[in-house]
Amino acid sequence: MNELHPPRVFVYGTLKRGEERERCWPHPPVEVLPATLLGELRDLGLYPALIHGADRVAGEVWQLSPEHVEDTLRVLDAIEGYREGSAENLYQRQVVQCTTADGRKLAAFTYYYADEAAARQACRVTPNASGVCNWTAK
């Protein structure tokens, strides 16, 4: 694995621990770390949309075993409505840099909402008192 194909996925919504789709992961993680990345969260009701922006967005980095990366991405791609090369995606998978709670910078895959203009019509998840945006279904 390398920075273009990291063995990590940053999640910020229904795939986080304690959320609706936590059990959808096909393999257990090696480690789950709290982390943030720069972006903007929009609340679409049942799930959030990550778009490009300057807010600090809270989430989790799921560290995967290298042999589980491809299968995990295949399952998550289906959940997120992503097919490489398709113009009809709900989300787009991209490699991002996120920052762990202890300050480490890690490359990870994440999913951006494909229709940024439509997402901007939804309610923005505003930063909390610590300056971090956190989406939860609860």
Long-range contacts for 70-76 (Cβ within 8 Å, ≥24 apart)?
71/26, 71/27, 72/9, 72/25, 72/26, 72/27, 73/9, 73/109, 75/24, 75/25, 75/26, 76/9, 76/15, 76/24, 76/25, 76/111
Scan for tokens 């194909």, then name that residue: 5
DSSP character for 82? Answer: -
Instruction: Note the helical H segments in 1-138.
Output: 69-79, 116-119
In the chain, the amino acid numbered 111 is Y
The answer on pLDDT for 2 being more than 70 is no
The answer on pLDDT for 26 being more than 60 is yes
Residue 84 in tokens: 């490489």
The answer on pLDDT for 44 being more than 60 is yes
Q: How do residues 67-126 score in pLDDT, each as one tens digit?
A: 999 999 999 999 999 999 999 999 999 999 999 999 999 999 999 999 999 999 999 999
| Rounded percentage of the chain residues whose pLDDT exceeds 70 | 96
Scan for tokens 């709670």, then name that residue: 101
Report the topology of domain 8-121.
Answer: Hypothetical upf0131 protein ytfp (3.10.490)
- Predicted confidence band at 138 (pLDDT cuts at 50, 70, 90)? low
Average pLDDT value for the chain: 95
Phi, psi torsion values for 78, nearest 5 degrees: -65, -40
Residue 57 in tokens: 């967005």
Say whether 68 sits in a helix, a strand or coil: helix
Average pLDDT over residues 34-44: 97
- Report pTM: 0.94
Cα–Cα dist 38/132, whole Å: 10
Beta bridge partners of 31: 63
Q: Write down the domain spans for the chain.
A: 8-121
pLDDT given for residue 137 in this prediction: 86
